[in-house]
Amino acid sequence: MGQKRVFLGSIATETNTFSPLRTDLRDFKDSFFAPPGLHPSTPTLCSAIYPVARAKADEIGWTLIEGTATWAEPGGIVNQRTWENLRDQLLQELSVALPVDIVLLGLHGAMVSQECLDCEGELIEAVRAIAGPDAIVGVTFDPHSHLSDRRVENADLITVFKEFPHTDFVETAENLINLVNCASAGSIVPVISTFDCRIIDVFPTSQEPMRSFVDAVKE
pLDDT bucket at 2, cuts 50 / 70 / 90 = confident
Distances in whole angstroms, Cα of residue 204 to Cα of each of 14, 164, 197:
18, 5, 17
Average of pLDDT values for 178-199?
95
d(CA 23, CA 32): 14
Task: Give, in order, the Cα–Cα distances in Å from 28 to each of 35, 78, 116.
Answer: 12, 10, 18
CB–CB of 12/47 below 8 Å?
Answer: yes
With left for phi above 0 and alpha for psi between -120 and 50, is residue 192 left, alpha or beta?
A: beta
pLDDT at 115: 98
What number is the average pLDDT over the span 127-145? 98
Span 19-38, pLDDT tens digits: 999 999 999 999 999 999 99
Q: Please say if the pLDDT value at position 1 is more than 90.
A: no
How much is the mean pLDDT over the chain? Answer: 96
pLDDT of residue 45: 95
* Rounded distance between C-alpha atoms, residue 91 and residue 34, angstroms: 16
pLDDT in tens, 80-133: 999 999 999 999 999 999 999 999 999 999 999 999 999 999 999 999 999 999
pLDDT at 35: 98
- pLDDT per residue over 39-86, tens digit each? 999 999 999 999 999 999 999 999 999 999 999 999 999 999 999 999
Q: How many H helices and E strands in the chain? A: 7, 6
Q: Which helix (H) or strand (E) holds 7?
A: strand 4-12
Instruction: State the average pLDDT over residues 133-146.
Output: 97
CATH number 3.40.50.2300 given to 4-218: yes
Q: What is the per-residue pLDDT for 169?
A: 97
| Confidence band, pLDDT 50/70/90 cuts, at residue 219 | confident
φ and ψ of 74, to 5 deg: -50, 135
How far is the C-alpha of 145 from the C-alpha of 74, rounded, in Å? 12
